[in-house]
Chain A
Amino acid sequence: MNPISRGIKNALRSPVRAGAIILMLAVSITLLVSMLVARASINDKINEVKATAGTNITITPAGIQGFMGGGDPLTSEQVSTIKDTDHVASITATLSDQLGDDDTDLESALELGSFGQRQQRFDSDSSETTPTPPSDETGEDGSRRIMGGPRTTVTGTTTPDNNGGLSFTSGETIDGGSGDLVALVGATLAEKNELSVGDTFTMYNKEFTVKGIFTTDNQFQDSGLIIPLETLQTITNQAGAVTSVTATVDSSDNVATVIESLKGSLADKADITSQVEQAEQNVSSLESIAGLALVGVIGAAGAGAIIILLAMIMIVRERRREIGVIKAIGGTNRSVMTQFTSEALTLTVVGGIVGLAIGITVSGPMTNSLVTNGQTTASSNQMPGRQGGPGGMGRPTNFNSPGAQIDQTFKDISSTVTPETLTAAIGIMLLIAIVGSAVPAWFIANIKPAEVLRSE
C-alpha cells in the first residue's frame, strides 16, 4: 500500500457518503459536459456560417433590385472606385436586360404563368424607365415589346463563367472583357430554340454566335443568356452602366473595412450588402447562446469544485485525529496530502465518468433546446424578403442565393463530442479535483500531531 492506494480505498470507506458526493459531482459534470458540447457545436456552426459567407460584397444601385425599383445604374467611375478600394481583390460587374419578342429571334423558354402576368401588368406604363434599346425608340414599339410574352433575360458580365462556378454542357466560356458579339446560352433556352455551339441568333439587330451552353440548378438562369458586359452596354446604349458589382475582398477579416470605405465613397448612391454581414447578423444570437453555454460551463465547474471542496473539508475535519496519528508515527505532510488528494481525485474521477456518460447522452437534446429557445431571436434578425428574390423578376446576376443557406444552418446544429471537448472536460475535472484538494491540504498541514495526545 502507498498513499495513493490508501486514498482510493478511503474514498469508498463510507459507501453511502461516497455515493452522495459522487452523485452531486456527476450532476455538475453532466451539466459541464453538455454545456461544453453545446458551446463547441455552436461555435463550429458559427465558424461554418462565417466561412460559407465568403468574402464577397454585392453593390447594387440604390433603389434597384433585379429588374425592380427605379434609379440610375452604377456609372463606370463608381465601378472604378469600387475596384480601387483597398483590399478589393477583384470585381465582377454585371448589367442585366430583358428581351422582348421584337428584340430577338429567340423564343423565351419561360412560361409567363399567373405570377409572371401579375408582375408584368404595370410594364406598359413604366416602359420609360426601362433601358430602351436603339431599335425600340418609338413608344409604340416599346409598349408592344413589353406587352408580348415572357421575356428572356440577358446578363452582361465581366465574368461570364461566374469565376469557374458555371458548368458547361458544351462549348466554353467567353471573354468578359471583350466587346464581341458572342454569347453563352442557358440549356433550357438552347433546347427551346434548338441552338448548339457555333449557331447564331439575332438580338438587337446584331448577330451573336453561341460559344457555350451552360446549366445551373436554376430554371430561371437556364432560360437566360450571358454576354460580355461591354457588348451589352454598347447594344443597349448604356455605356459604362452596371446594375450590380460583386467585389471580392482579399480576406474575410477585411470585409467590414471594405464595406465601411465603400459606404463612404459611394454614399447613398448604392446599396451594399455582404453575406458576411448577413451571416454575422444571423449568428449573433447563436453567439449569445454560446456565451450562455460558457456561463453554464463556468457555473458547473464552480459547482463541482465547491462540492468536492466541501466534501474534502468535511472528510479532513472528521479525520483530524487520524491525520494527527499518521503524523505522530512519522507520516510526512506530503504523504498525508497525497493520500487525501488521491481520495479527492478518486471521487472526482468516479463522479466524472458517471457525469461524462450522462453528459454525452444528454448533450444532444440540451444543445437543441438551447438553440431552439434562442432561435426566436435569431429569425427576427433576418431581413424579411431580402434574400428570396421576387421570382422571375429576381436577381438574375446572383448565381448563388446566400439567404437560404444561412437560414438552414440554424436547423441543423448537430452536437458532436469532439476529442477537444473531451480533453477540456477532463482538464476541468482535474482542475476541480485540485481545487478540491488544495484547501483541505492546507488544513492537513495545520493539524498538529500533539493533538493526538489530548483526551477527547
Chain B
Amino acid sequence: MLSVKNLTRTYNSAEGELVALDNVSFSVKDGEFVSIIGKSGSGKSTLLSLLGALDTPTSGSIMVDDEDIAKLSLVKQTAYRARKIGFVFQHYNLITNLSALENVMLALEYGGVPAKDRKERAIQLLDEVGVEGGMRLRKPGKLSGGQQQRVSIARALANQPAIILADEPTGNLDSTTGKKIFDLLHKLSRTENTTIIAVTHDLDIAGKTDRTFKLRDGKLQQA
C-alpha cells in the first residue's frame, strides 16, 4: 500500500519560488498499475522522484508499508531505492560500458544479492523480458531502443521491488515497440504483483491501466 498525503515540492529558481508539486494526495493498492498523464512541466517527474526517494519533498508524507519515505536519511533512501524500487527511464540509462547481463548484475549487487548468485538470476531476469543468447553480452550501444528498454526493465525487476516507477518508458520508442514494452510491464504487474506507476503521453496506453492520474501545474486531478 502506497499512500501520499499533502505532498508538495517547491524549487527555488532565479524567478522566485516554483511549486512543481502542489499538495498532492492519493493512494495506490499493491499490484495496481497506475498511469500519470499531464503536459510537460506539470510535475510528473518530480512526483516520481519523490516516490522513488531520489528527492525529498518540501512537505507532506509518502507512506510505503507503514514507513514514511519522506523522512528517511540519505543512507536509508539509498537502501530503499535498492530494495523496494525499480526505475525505468525514458532514455533507458543503462551503463554504457557494461553488457546487458552486467547491467542487471549491477542492480543485484546493490540489492545485496551474493556475488555467486547474481549471474544466474540476471540470466533468468533477461529471459523473462525476452533478451536472450548472445544479446545478453552486448553493450547497450549494440542493442536497439526496445531491447535496451527490456534490459532496463529486467534491471528494475532485479530485486523484486514493491514499486516500479517508469518515467515515459515508451517515449523514445516507435508505437509498435512501445506497445510491446507496455504489455511487458502490464504482464509483470500481474505475475509479480508489483505496483507500477508509469508516466506516459500515450492516452491509448493510459487507457489500459487500472487508474490514471492527471497532473496540471503540480496539482493532481483524477482523470
Instruction: Report which A residues bind B (CB closer than 8 A).
Output: 1-2, 6, 9-10, 13, 321-322, 325-333, 335, 448-450, 452-456
Which chain A residues lie closer than 8 Å to B111 at the CB level? 330
Given B55, B78, B90, B95, which contacts A450 in the complex, CB threshold below 8 Å?
A: B55
Which chain B residues lie closer than 8 Å to A1 at the CB level? 102, 105-106, 109
B33 within 8 A of A: no
5 additional contacts (CB under 8 A) given A329-B110, A332-B75, A332-B78: A325-B95, A326-B95, A328-B52, A333-B78, A452-B89
- What is the chain B residue whose CB lies nearest that of A325? B93
Min CB–CB distance B118 → chain A (angstroms): 9
In this complex, how many residues of chain B approach chain A with their Cβ under 8 Å: the count is: 32
Complex Cα distance A2/B110, Å?
Answer: 10
Which chain A residues lie closer than 8 Å to B55 at the CB level? 448-450
Q: A1-B105, A453-B49 are in contact. Are A10 and B97 (CB under 8 A)?
A: yes
Which chain B residues lie closer than 8 Å to A450 at the CB level? 49, 54-55
Given A2, A328, A330, A455, which contacts B90 in the complex, CB threshold below 8 Å?
A: A455
Q: A322-B95, A322-B96, A452-B93 are in contact. Are A328 and B54 (CB under 8 A)?
A: yes
The 7 closest A-B pairs by CB, nearest first: A330-B82, A330-B110, A450-B55, A450-B54, A450-B49, A453-B45, A449-B54
Complex Cα distance A329/B81, Å?
Answer: 6
Min CB–CB distance A438 → chain B (angstroms): 20
Which chain B residues lie closer than 8 Å to A13 at the CB level? 97
Which chain A residues lie closer than 8 Å to B45 at the CB level? 453-454
B150 within 8 A of A: no
Complex Cα distance A450/B115, Å?
Answer: 28
Which chain A residues lie closer than 8 Å to B93 at the CB level? 321, 325, 328, 452
Min CB–CB distance A295 → chain B (angstroms): 41
Given A9, A321, A330, which contacts B78 in the complex, CB threshold below 8 Å?
A: A330
Min CB–CB distance B84 → chain A (angstroms): 9
Instruction: Report which B residues bind A (CB closer than 8 A).
Output: 45, 48-49, 52, 54-55, 75, 78-79, 81-83, 87, 89-91, 93, 95-98, 102, 105-107, 109-111, 115, 155, 159, 167
> Can you list 19 A-B contacts (CB < 8 A)?
A2-B115, A6-B98, A322-B95, A322-B96, A325-B89, A325-B93, A326-B110, A328-B54, A329-B110, A330-B78, A330-B82, A330-B83, A330-B107, A330-B111, A335-B110, A453-B49, A453-B89, A453-B167, A456-B91
Which chain A residues lie closer than 8 Å to B54 at the CB level? 327-328, 448-450, 452-453
Complex Cα distance A453/B43, Å?
Answer: 11
Complex Cα distance A333/B78, Å?
Answer: 9
Complex Cα distance A455/B96, Å?
Answer: 18
- What is the chain A residue whose CB lies nearest that of B89? A452
Min CB–CB distance A347 → chain B (angstroms): 16
Are B81's CB and A9's CB within 8 A?
Answer: no
Complex Cα distance A2/B49, Å?
Answer: 27
Which chain A residues lie closer than 8 Å to B110 at the CB level? 326, 329-332, 335
Which chain B residues lie closer than 8 Å to A321 at the CB level? 93
Which chain A residues lie closer than 8 Å to B102 at the CB level? 1
Complex Cα distance A278/B105, Å?
Answer: 71
Complex Cα distance A327/B90, Å?
Answer: 17
Given B78, B106, B107, B167, which contacts A327 in the complex, CB threshold below 8 Å?
A: B78
Complex Cα distance A333/B76, Å?
Answer: 12
Complex Cα distance A335/B112, Å?
Answer: 13
Complex Cα distance A449/B102, Å?
Answer: 21
Most buried by B among A6, A10, A13, A454: A6
Complex Cα distance A328/B86, Å?
Answer: 9
Min CB–CB distance B112 → chain A (angstroms): 9
Q: A1-B109, A322-B95, A449-B54 are in contact. Are A329 and B49 (CB under 8 A)?
A: no
Min CB–CB distance A307 → chain B (angstroms): 23
Min CB–CB distance B153 → chain A (angstroms): 12
Min CB–CB distance B93 → chain A (angstroms): 5
Complex Cα distance A184/B79, Å?
Answer: 93
Most buried by B among A325, A329, A335: A329
Min CB–CB distance B160 → chain A (angstroms): 13
Complex Cα distance A424/B96, Å?
Answer: 38
Which chain A residues lie closer than 8 Å to B48 at the CB level? 453
Min CB–CB distance B154 → chain A (angstroms): 12
Complex Cα distance A352/B203, Å?
Answer: 58
Are A2's CB and B109's CB within 8 A?
Answer: yes
Min CB–CB distance A340 → chain B (angstroms): 14
- What is the chain A residue whose CB lies nearest that of B102? A1
